[in-house]
Amino acid sequence: MIRTIVPEELNRLRKSGQAVELIDVRTPEEFREVHVDFANNVPLKELDARQLAAQLAPSQEPLYVICRSGGRAGQACENLAAVGMQVVNVEGGTLAWQAAGLPVVRGRKVMSLGRQVQIVMGCLILGSSLLAFYSIYWIALVAFFGAGLIFSGIANFCGWSPILARMPWNRRNNSATGSPHPHNSFAVPRD
């Protein structure tokens, strides 16, 4: 069973001078919007448990993991525990941290990739539907996009997300995080 800790207790540990390494497994966009002031961003999709375990091998201290509300951090903790790491999930995630009035770094608000995909698909379907008034063949494009949405829902894969993630407004920019760390992802092993 994965250990958990409430945000207030983690904050007390850090303030007492204890070494506390915290990773935030949310997306870079979520991290930029708001994050715990001493967290490092390691998105769940990019988390390499074996590599992280190798970096932290000499340490006896647990690695604390946080996300928005606890679900993704729980997944990350399971992956990290499977390779022998001592991990602790921060209960309630960043939402609970903020609700407790603990220090966070706020960046600019961003639109999630999911919402961006909805806007793009809506525009494509609406545009194709309007073009169908000029030629019935445009209906085929509407059907194609509809079939793509059905496939996306069934396969839990969206081809638009990686495309939109590469757009300039979604690129990971370390200087935009507001992070006090010179890096935006965990890369420094503990002493």
Q: How many CB atoms lie within 10 A of CB 176?
A: 14
Q: What is the Cα–Cα distance from 51 to 32, expressed in whole angstroms?
A: 24
- Is the Cβ–Cβ distance between 29 and 110 less than 8 Å? yes
Kindly state the tokens that stand for 139: 């209906």
> Tokens at residue 158, please?
């969206």
Closest of 61, 46, 50 to residue 14, by C-alpha: 61
Q: Which two tokens stand for residue 29?
A: 């966009």
Catalytic residue IDs: 67
CA–CA dist 23, 48 (Å, integer): 13
State how far the Cα of 101 lies from the Cα of 138, in Å rounded to an integer: 53
Instruction: Report whether 66 contacts 39 (CB < 8 A).
Output: yes
